A and B are shown apart, each in its own frame.
Chain A
């Protein structure tokens, strides 16, 4: 970085021969005069060079600010289904403390009336929200009211969103810039008392400071720097850490030059933003602004004298005085700083005593490193890279507002960790253990609420949710049925399909003879039953009847971009997709045939708050409403009476979940994909090395799904009935029209005019006529009075 050495040598090589010749001709005093002149010229040149560097780099210097990534803000309003505990949890994660602190923000207090919150000010993408005092009351698992301090009802308030990481410069330096005017006076005083008492009077270096440090050394107080703040700044800014005389000299000159060009406040402000104040896993904490947030969960202007002293004490050795790791040592150091500050007369004896009496007061927030949710962050990073330069992401201080729902993310992480540990114990297959991935989205808008990329949820490595392409097995079946149901004149939910021996011959490929999971054939089964029971043979027959190419076209319309091979075996899921791709596919089904690209980002703003490219909600109708509705009904059948029946352990039948299990050859992969009224989730479980996991989708993946959705609270699935759909009472045995007297008669949806006309043996002509009249009447009623 610093190339003075090379510069110096080049000059020397040019000058030495010239000087040698001069020595040979003239007398000694002449030589001496020349020598002085040359030296003076060299010194001047060197100083000019340093001056150029100092001005150039200090002025052009902008701190590389990482892109800062935020979770979705929790939007509080009356009637929101959320528990007080969930809000408290979120506030804690954001660094809010329990217990009122008058005159400050960033705390909450619980009482019999509910929750009181002192929101910190926050700049959202659409503008700043000032500090705000809230009172939230609860009733029956929901918020009853949200009011301000004066008791006025507030329609909607956004809580401060959780910072969930950043996209950092190469050395993982993280910082939050502050202005000198925001920094409390006592912090600056503590800094000057400790590091540079003559800061405001010296010109870059301080002989008195050096003398003081020498005196202190001989008094047995240990070796202290003696460097001015300006020198420290120059050292951090321009120079390598080697300790040579040449470097020390350069540092001195540069410090003086810096003082010449810039005033004290500029130097001080830059120092406060540059200074290294510790490490949070792989993230380097730089600057007083970030340190205040990291150690105390507050912005810099609210730092107390004691807190300021703790931070200033860390300047000398951030690792050695790390208050989390060495609290006693850090406390002693802090008290030294307080004493020094009082010694200079900056604070009174009372202030000193009361500061000394306080504890460390550290933020209890667990460390997060570059991100607590690296799998989700990676998705954000990839989506950002479509629109931004990598270098800009790492240095321009962009603020990125994402769709991550911390509650959903944590619940998904917990479920995966717990269940996989349990399976490993039961299986005793030895390490490496089972792996898994979960993706959760908003069913109606395609916003990604959670991504778990493996059981070590903090690990920034292989992201199975995005990158593990695994055979999907029966998860592809709904696509076959959707393609069929788009042709109501040929296929309805009760169309009989032969589940009998089936061989598919194609030129240049071995015969394909699919088998059922139970190795049996079930004869003529209704279409809905073939899906509910996940019959392979019936599905293969249906799929080849429609045509593999058409099924693949459906996969594409559902949003899967990866090209799939047009083999018949594809119908039974002999294709590899990532959990994320599967999620996209099911998203389109969950939102009634409207494809919404999965989004992890809502808004991006520049560092100054100016909104950049928005990431708006976009939908596209990929399917007519009718077949999507019919397929959803069939997938609800999977949960009600098919392979996913065991979901009833977690969710009541009223939830009317639609889902599909998936298990691949030799049970290498266990899948479950399903949706409720508000969320879609896809779960995958298997071994990284493709070992047979001996776990089926229903036995292994489904419990995670059920547990997760039960924990989050599922909204019942009630898709709107499209115009072209009518309900018909059907005898489940025969698949023909039933009346109320038929045992177990089911109301099933049909595309208008496609329902069977024939009467089931159990039904009478009058009964069927009454049913038809009832349905017609219901239709009118709905049309006239709305739903």
Chain B
């Protein structure tokens, strides 16, 4: 398996192909769907989003905690929680939870970039302009 990976990676590596970079748009994209193979997690995320949209943030966070108990390693759920914390104005938790998402994100650079953007927003909201800039730069490096 390892050799197969090596061959695949060397072949593709020689061609120095970059993964297609997403077209950067100033309009914030709607939250991406959360990949999960579990219908229970999907339903919890759906109800969390409905709650968050209606301003029921405590309920939204609670549903995401329930989802995280089922899939504690799903970085998308952690990110979803960071988004709710941002709405709640709990900026310290936004940074920690987004970092937790990053810790499970592996090679998912898009997810990482989004986490860094959340961190940047939290820092911005706290008045840490330099920190926010650094986080945005970190987001740009994720590709």
Q: Are B103 and A78 in contact (CB under 8 A)?
A: no
- Min CB distance B20 to A, Å, is 11
A447 contact set on B, CB distance < 8 A = 69
Chain A: interface residue count, which band? 35 or more
Which chain B residues in 73-91 approach chain A with CB under 8 Å? Answer: 73, 81
- Min CB distance A655 to B, Å, is 16
Q: Are A720 and B106 in contact (CB under 8 A)?
A: yes
- Identify which of A39-47, A328-336, A610-618 touches chain B: A610-618
User: In the bound complex, how far is the Cα of B39 from the Cα of A773, in angstroms?
Assistant: 40
- Identify which of A20-28, A619-627, A662-670, A680-688 touches chain B: A619-627
Q: Are B5 and A156 in contact (CB under 8 A)?
A: no
Closest to A785 in B: B107
B5 contact set on A, CB distance < 8 A = 774, 777-778, 781
A241 contact set on B, CB distance < 8 A = none
Closest to B93 in A: A618
User: In the bound complex, how far is the Cα of B71 from the Cα of A678, in angstroms?
Assistant: 10
Closest to B92 in A: A620
Q: A592-B103, A774-B2, A781-B9 are in contact. Are A75 and B70 (CB under 8 A)?
A: yes
Q: Are B58 and A611 in contact (CB under 8 A)?
A: yes
- Min CB distance A2 to B, Å, is 47
* A426 at interface, CB cutoff 8 A: no
Q: A617-B68, A678-B72 are in contact. Are A603 and B9 (CB under 8 A)?
A: no
Q: Are A784 and B104 in contact (CB under 8 A)?
A: no
B72 contact set on A, CB distance < 8 A = 442-445, 678
* A490 at interface, CB cutoff 8 A: no
* B10 at interface, CB cutoff 8 A: yes
* A327 at interface, CB cutoff 8 A: no
A678 contact set on B, CB distance < 8 A = 72
* A126 at interface, CB cutoff 8 A: yes
Chain B: interface residue count, which band? 35 or more
**B-facing mask of A743-770, CB < 8 A → 1, else 0?**
0000000000000000000000000000
Which chain B residues in 36-66 approach chain A with CB under 8 Å? Answer: 38-40, 42-44, 58-59, 61-62, 65-66
User: In the bound complex, how far is the Cα of B101 from the Cα of A619, in angstroms?
Assistant: 11
* A294 at interface, CB cutoff 8 A: no
**B-facing mask of A531-570, CB < 8 A → 1, else 0?**
0000000000000000000000000000000000000000
Q: Which secondary structure characterizes the binding site on chain B?
A: helix
B9 contact set on A, CB distance < 8 A = 776-778, 780-781
Q: Are A603 and B62 in contact (CB under 8 A)?
A: yes
B109 contact set on A, CB distance < 8 A = 783
Cross-interface CB contact of A784 among B10, B19, B40, B92, cutoff 8 Å? B19
Closest to A720 in B: B104
- Min CB distance B63 to A, Å, is 8
Q: Are A155 and B93 in contact (CB under 8 A)?
A: no
Q: Are A621 and B107 in contact (CB under 8 A)?
A: no
* A787 at interface, CB cutoff 8 A: yes
Q: A77-B39, A155-B39 are in contact. Are A594 and B107 (CB under 8 A)?
A: no
User: In the bound complex, how far is the Cα of B85 from the Cα of A616, in angstroms?
Assistant: 11
* B29 at interface, CB cutoff 8 A: no
Closest to B37 in A: A79
A773 contact set on B, CB distance < 8 A = 6, 10
- Min CB distance B79 to A, Å, is 13
B58 contact set on A, CB distance < 8 A = 611, 614, 616
Which chain A residues in 111-155 approach chain B with CB under 8 Å? Answer: 126, 153, 155
Q: Are B6 and A156 in contact (CB under 8 A)?
A: no
* A433 at interface, CB cutoff 8 A: no
User: In the bound complex, how far is the Cα of B17 from the Cα of A451, in angstroms?
Assistant: 54
User: In the bound complex, how far is the Cα of B88 from the Cα of A614, in angstroms?
Assistant: 13
* Residue among A78, A126, A594, A616 with most chain B CB within 10 A: A616
A-contacting residues of B (Cβ < 8 Å)?
Answer: 2-3, 5-6, 8-10, 12-13, 19, 38-40, 42-44, 58-59, 61-62, 65-66, 68-70, 72-73, 81, 92-93, 95-97, 99-100, 103-109
**Can you give 6 contacting A-B residue pairs, CB < 8 Å?**
A77-B40, A611-B58, A616-B61, A773-B6, A773-B10, A777-B13
B-contacting residues of A (Cβ < 8 Å)?
Answer: 75, 77-79, 126, 153, 155-156, 442-445, 447, 592, 594, 602-603, 611, 614, 616-621, 625, 678, 720-722, 773-774, 776-778, 780-787
